Amino acid sequence: MSDQRDTLQFRGRRGEDGTASRQEFEWGAQRMNTVAVTGATGKTGRVVVADLVQHGYEVLAVDIAAGPAERAWAQGLGVSLQCADLTDHGQAVDVLGDAESVVHLANIPAPGLYPAAHTLATNTAMNHSVFLAAAHNKLRRVVWASSETTLGLPFDVPPRYVPVDEDHYPYPTSTYALSKVLGETAAEQISAWSGIPFVALRLSNVHLEEDYALVPGYWSDPQARKWNLWGYVDARDVAQACRLGLTAPVTGASSYVIAAADTIMDRPSAELLAEVFPDVKLTREIGTYETLLSVRRAREVLGYEPRHSWRDSVKIREVV
């Protein structure tokens, strides 16, 4: 661990919350320009890769899905694409060998896609393989996709309070959510062993711009999307969060809710709460359509600012 800390050249005094000064990380930030992205050819991964390339990073794309179409996509961005099964620690070590940091997105992306035990075993194996490979290769930073599901989704048991924040944790209700909780626990320990900062992004339901055509279909029944407090996040804002996570002035293992600034509904947030969760405590005043998945910590620590909304693409129905 001391060797890794020497490499990072920590300077100055850290705060009690694990936050370091920006000056402390200036040297490291200048060197963080070769990034491996796992799950690179997936829905979110493609947006993250394109964003990093646009911002001057050299990207090493990694995915188990690496056929001719995926290779053509990568070639179009000027990115190398490596096929790897990240449940195999040896393969994870190999594909991270030339990287200085990693954005780890590769996982089964939701509950219910595979048998429960398979989801837990596969995601846990991938996360542990990548985290330990990062330590083995002495990477400078690990940014990875945790999930809003760690916060108690689908809220069949109402949340204890809203807006739900990072402290509403851990409440896994599926093996998918449990795999993310186990990942966050492993990240905390491996970060302590290695000195590598681990940044977990508890992503809300990711939407591409073309997904917004479906949004008006959600509005008639507030029960239909109560499972995540009517939350969502644009993939472009996920990419922003991943990029910011690479250079944020943090140490240790930290976690952040990443959501859009608004809900996916065309009704005021307080009105939705009063109808669906009337007994849940509202801890502060909220904006008319403000998200009920708090992004305050991500704003304050990462500098995250959600810039994209379904409202930019969908015409809101007129009230007669």
**Helix, strand, coil abundance in the chain, percent, nearest 5:** 40, 15, 40
Residue that has been written with the tokens 């190999």 in this structure: 94
Which pLDDT score, from 0 to 100, does residue 8 have?
A: 35
| Segment holding 199, helix H or strand E | strand 198-203
Q: Is the peptide bond before 163 cis (omega within 30 degrees of 0)?
A: yes
Which pLDDT score, from 0 to 100, does residue 319 have?
A: 38
Backbone angle region of 258, left / alpha / beta, with phi > 0 → left and psi within -120 to 50 → alpha: beta
What digits encode the pLDDT tens for the residues 48-99?
A: 999 999 999 999 999 999 999 999 999 999 999 999 999 999 999 999 999 9
Which pLDDT score, from 0 to 100, does residue 102 have?
A: 98
Cα dihedral 175, 181, 185, 188, rounded to 10, equals 140
DSSP class of residue 267? S
Boundaries of every domain in the chain: 2-306
Which pLDDT score, from 0 to 100, does residue 315 have?
A: 73
Topology of domain 2-306, CATH: Rossmann fold (3.40.50)
- Which residues of the chain have a pLDDT value below 70? 1-32, 316-320
